[in-house]
């Protein structure tokens, strides 16, 4: 499989070419979330409450440094600003830290530093994603645990409660049917699922492990110490699961940011449509290209070649170019044309929904 044009090819040199697209797709989603985070940081929307209080206090000749803003809001039942302040800072802080770990993990996979890469991948998938899903699923419960004794209230979470949080978070997404809570739990948390990350994370983090058949360190061995860095099996294991998890991360994070301040609906629709369409084209068979079929129908005669007027089809061979770079290839005459998908969606009355 060729590069999909997200990363320079020298960065992909040590990765087998058949995994390039999966690796680049994960980085594409990472970069979209970085852009989203930067836009919200630039807007300073997470500081609207504290800025308002600081201005009011300074105007009254008081010292803002001596003012306990959270205590004041809670005692005076200023519930909405109290929640906004906690949730907005938590979402932005969690997202920033999560993206830092993901970036370093992905970069280590490019260098075949597998033990380091898997160790770095553990925290964002097991912890950051859980907390973001928690906020999306039940922000009131998150706040009640966050504000006191959180060292206890956030620990010892059962499988049943994690599944409940994932279920509730999925119910808040634009595309609910794309995600299976049991599959997500097995991939991220199960110590007994042979296709799950947890046994590999444990081995990458600890030199010896013992719990369960999948975690037993072999005799005359230490976890990862004697692994062959030229073995491609880790890429097969990683990229069979990570794009799906990254797709879930992107949609959960997008909805969390939408809680802080509503984003432009056209922008949300475009982001979800292009990431879902690209995922379907890269990782699902032709019968599952739901986004491309929908667009093919809705765009109608706009999908005609400007050179030979042949019908342009969004298929697996050209879908990533269409969604990621807004270009489409005509199989009849060979012309590669610009296609301003975002502009067309924004100007049209087309809305994106699961139905």
pLDDT in tens, 200-220: 999 899 998 887 777 788 888
Query: Residue 281: which residues within 8 A CB-CB, separation 6 or more?
Result: 289, 292, 315, 316, 319, 320, 323
Question: Which residues make Cβ contacts (< 8 Å) with residue 197, sequence separation at least 6?
Answer: 118, 121, 122, 125, 187, 188, 241
pTM score, whole prediction: 0.91
Residue 69 — pLDDT band, cuts 50, 70, 90? confident
Q: In this model, does residue 351 exceed pLDDT 70?
A: no
| CA-wise closest residue to 101 among 75, 127, 131 | 127
What is the average per-residue pLDDT within 220-237? 88
51 compared with 92, residue with greater pLDDT: 92
pLDDT of 173 reads: 94
Is pLDDT of 51 > 80? no
Q: What is the pLDDT of residue 53?
A: 63
Beta bridge partners of 336: 329
User: How far is Cα 102 from Cα 299, in angstroms, rounded to an integer?
Assistant: 36
Share of the chain above pLDDT 70, in %: 92
Q: What is the pLDDT of residue 187?
A: 96
- Number of helices and strands (H, E) in the chain? 17, 2
Whether 8 shows a pLDDT value over 90: the answer reads: yes
CA 23 vs. chain centroid, Å, equals: 14
Contact 301, 319 (CB under 8 A): no
CA atoms within 13 A on the CB side of 128: 25
Instruction: State the pLDDT at residue 16.
Output: 96
Local structure of residue 304 (DSSP, 8 states):
B
pLDDT band at 282 (very low <50, low <70, confident <90, very high): very high
Average of per-residue pLDDT across 246-275: 92
User: Quick check: helix, strand or coil at residue 180?
Assistant: coil
Q: Indicate if the pLDDT at residue 354 is higher than 70.
A: no
Q: How far apart are CA 113 and CA 115, in angstroms?
A: 6
Q: Rounded distance, CA 323 to CA 321, Å?
A: 6
Segment 12-30 mean pLDDT: 97
Contact 124, 98 (CB under 8 A): yes
CB 3 within 8 A of CB 24: yes
Given the structure tokens 């033990």, which residue do they identify? 115
Residue 89 in tokens: 């800072």
CA–CA separation, 173 vs 177, rounded Å?
A: 9
- Give the pLDDT confidence score for residue 52 in this predicted structure: 64
- The pLDDT assigned to 151 comes to 87
What stretch of H or E contains 338?
Answer: strand 336-338
> Which residue did the predictor score with more confidence, 75 or 5?
5
Compute the C-alpha angle 75/89/205, nearest 5°. Answer: 125
């Amino acid at each position: 499989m060729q590069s999909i044009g997200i990363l320079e090819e020298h960065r992909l040199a040590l990765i087998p070419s058949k995994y390039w697209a999966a690796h680049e797709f994960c980085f594409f989603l990472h970069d979209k979330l970085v852009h989203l985070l930067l836009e919200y940081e630039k807007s300073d929307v997470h500081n609207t409450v504290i800025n308002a209080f600081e201005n009011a206090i300074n105007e009254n000749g008081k010292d803002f440094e001596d003012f306990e803003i959270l205590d004041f809001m809670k005692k005076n039942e200023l519930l909405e600003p109290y929640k906004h302040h906690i949730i907005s800072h938590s979402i932005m802080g969690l997202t920033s830290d999560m993206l830092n770990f993901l970036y370093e993990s992905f970069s280590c996979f490019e260098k075949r530093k597998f033990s380091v890469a898997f160790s770095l991948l553990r925290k964002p998938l097991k912890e950051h994603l859980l907390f973001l899903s928690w906020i999306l699923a039940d922000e009131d419960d998150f706040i009640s645990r966050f504000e006191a004794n959180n060292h206890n209230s956030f620990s010892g979470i059962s499988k049943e409660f994690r599944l409940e949080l994932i279920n509730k978070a999925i119910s808040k997404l634009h595309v609910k049917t794309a995600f299976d809570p049991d599959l997500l739990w097995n991939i991220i948390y199960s110590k007994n699922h042979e296709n799950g990350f947890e046994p590999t994370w444990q081995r990458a983090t600890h030199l010896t492990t013992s719990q369960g058949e999948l975690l037993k360190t072999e005799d005359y061995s230490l976890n990862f110490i004697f692994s062959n860095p030229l073995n491609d099996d880790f890429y097969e294991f990683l990229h069979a699961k990570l794009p799906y998890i990254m797709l879930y991360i992107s949609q959960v994070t997008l909805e969390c940011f939408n809680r802080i301040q509503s984003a432009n609906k056209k922008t949300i629709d475009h982001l979800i449509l292009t990431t879902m369409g690209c995922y379907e084209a890269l990782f699902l068979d032709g019968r599952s290209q739901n986004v491309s079929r929908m667009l093919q129908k809705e765009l109608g005669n706009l999908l005609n070649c400007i050179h030979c007027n042949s019908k342009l089809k969004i298929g697996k061979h050209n879908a990533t170019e269409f969604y990621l770079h807004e270009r489409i290839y005509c199989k009849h005459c060979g012309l590669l044309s610009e296609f301003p998908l975002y502009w067309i969606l924004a100007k049209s009355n087309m809305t994106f929904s699961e139905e």
